[in-house]
């Protein structure tokens, strides 16, 4: 990233499934990038969507589902690989934490490649989780 680049952060900015797909592809985060109707549902049903922009280009996203009272699930944290290691992910997380407040636990399932990232930004590893995997 050019040192003069200014990243703009937005809350609940409307984005398209194509834009979300592109940031997932550019971040190498495994998501259903060719299923635009599903991506649209992911956008529509998020309670919180913070985005990072370089001009008109979406370069990062934090998407979460929450009750704003007890817990918040961080569904996606994706930053375009060419913009990583610039603090964009940390800023998106900070904005999310400020939005939900201190009474709300922030939880997530990490992609295997991100397991070393999350402790670096304040998350603790937990072993008391369970899941029923999606079928597709």
User: How many residues are given for the chain?
Assistant: 136
Q: Is residue 105 part of a domain?
A: yes
Reported as a single tens digit per residue, the pLDDT across 62-119 is 999 999 999 999 999 999 999 999 999 999 999 999 999 999 999 998 877 778 888 8
Residue 130 counted as domain residue:
no
Between these two residues, 132 and 68, which has the higher pLDDT value?
68
Give the pLDDT of residue 3: 65
Residue 132 in domain = no
Is residue 133 situated within a structural domain? no
Q: Is residue 46 part of a domain?
A: yes
pLDDT (tens digit per residue) in 15-73: 999 999 999 999 998 999 999 999 999 999 999 999 999 999 999 999 999 999 999 99
Specify if 134 maps to a domain. no
Domain hosting 111: range is 8-120
Domains contained in the chain, number: 1
Residue with more model confidence, 59 or 129: 59
Distances (CA, A) of 109 to 2, 36, 124, 127: 31, 23, 12, 11
Q: What is the CATH number of the domain that holds 105?
A: 3.40.630.30
Contacts for 38 with CB less than 8 Å, ≥ 6 apart: 32
Domain-embedded: residue 128:
no
Q: Enter the tokens of residue 132.
A: 């029923």
Residue 131 lies in a domain: no
For residue 2, the model assigns a pLDDT of 64
């Amino acid at each position: 990233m050019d040192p003069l680049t200014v990243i703009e952060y937005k809350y609940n900015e409307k984005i398209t499934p194509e834009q979300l797909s592109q940031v997932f592809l550019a971040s190498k985060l495994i998501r259903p990038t060719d299923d635009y109707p599903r991506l649209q549902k992911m956008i529509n049903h998020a309670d919180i969507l913070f985005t990072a922009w370089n001009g008109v280009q979406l370069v990062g996203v934090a998407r979460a589902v929450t009750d704003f009272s007890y817990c918040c699930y961080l569904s996606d944290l994706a930053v375009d690989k060419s913009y990583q290691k610039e603090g964009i992910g940390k800023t998106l997380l900070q904005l999310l934490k400020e939005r939900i407040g201190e009474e709300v636990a922030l939880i997530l399932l990490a992609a295997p490649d991100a397991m070393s990232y999350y402790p670096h930004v304040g998350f603790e590893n937990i072993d008391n989780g369970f899941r029923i995997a999606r079928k597709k």
